[in-house]
Amino acid sequence: METIVIRPTAELLNQFMVNQTVELYEDRILRALSEVWAYEPRDNERCKANDAVKKLVDGWFDLKLGEKYQQISPELFELQRQITIDLSRYATKYNHSQMRGNLTFQIPAFCVSENKRWSHTHKVMERNPQDHRDYEYEIEISSERRPMPPEIRGQAIAARAHAYQVYTEALSTHPLSEIIYHTPDIFSRPDTARLLTLWQPKPSDLKIDVKVRQIDKDPILVLDWGKPYLVTTWEEPDELPFDDILAKALGEGQVTIDDVV
């Protein structure tokens, strides 16, 4: 049984909403922008002046977008939750008797996607005490977003349109228009804006696929100083023969992936 620890979405969202601690005024931002943009900085001041322009431009866009939408802290996207899966459920499917016991690890608290499907891959490696071989487990967890109601789709279209309106207003506002013309990368264009859906699926909504592969090691110690020099090699219990590979590598020929395989 897959288990995950979930907190109510509304509770998390309220915790990570951004409230402006300093009231922003458009006329003050534009006046400061005009002064900083017209200023001719010395060489040692150029980076500071560019940073000031960038901060003021961001402030103007924050102000305009904030008139309609409240900003969310990026930390919301970094939240993690815990999931536990029973590896033995997948042992028969992959004909691998070593898969057993529970595996607990962290995944993002929210599924985040521009489309209907979200996926996350977790890899873990362990050595089997019986055959002394390393095995890598690749666990893909995916979830599909439920259909978006028509009224929400309408709000998504309106949000994208609003982004274009704000950018168009910037192109007709002095000195923003001049700044964007000379430094077009100072703020991203609206066609790069993404509409993301965040959701927390129930355990039953998660699709889990576990793959396992054996990792064979051929340790080689190399001194890399201008050119690579072979120092030594040593054996592992799961070693594969590589005498022929070394013979080619120490000669004039080059070893390719096809040679190794």
- pLDDT tens for each residue of 151-181: 999 999 999 999 999 999 999 999 999 999 9
Output the pLDDT for position 49.
Answer: 85
Identity of the residue numbered 171: L
Distances (CA, A) of 65 to 21, 147, 168: 16, 27, 13
Strands (DSSP E) contained in the chain are 3-4, 80-86, 102-108, 111-113, 117-127, 134-144, 197-199, 207-215, 220-225, 227-233
Rounded to a whole number of angstroms, the CA Rg of the chain reads 28
User: Facing residues of 113 across strands?
Assistant: 197
Binning pLDDT at 50, 70 and 90, where does residue 20 land? low
Residues 6+ apart with CB under 8 A from 143: 111, 117, 118, 119, 199, 201, 205, 206, 207
Q: What share of the chain is helix, strand, coil (3-state, %, to 5)?
A: 40, 25, 35
- pLDDT tens for each residue of 120-149: 999 988 777 676 677 788 899 999 998 889
What are the structure tokens assigned to 94, written together? 């992959």
Greatest pairwise CA separation for the chain in angstroms: 74
How far is 87 from 97, CA to CA, in rounded Å? Answer: 10
Residue 107: is it exposed, middle or buried by C-beta count within 10 angstroms (0-12/13-18/19+)? middle
Rounded to two decimals, the pTM is: 0.70
Average pLDDT over residues 193-211: 89
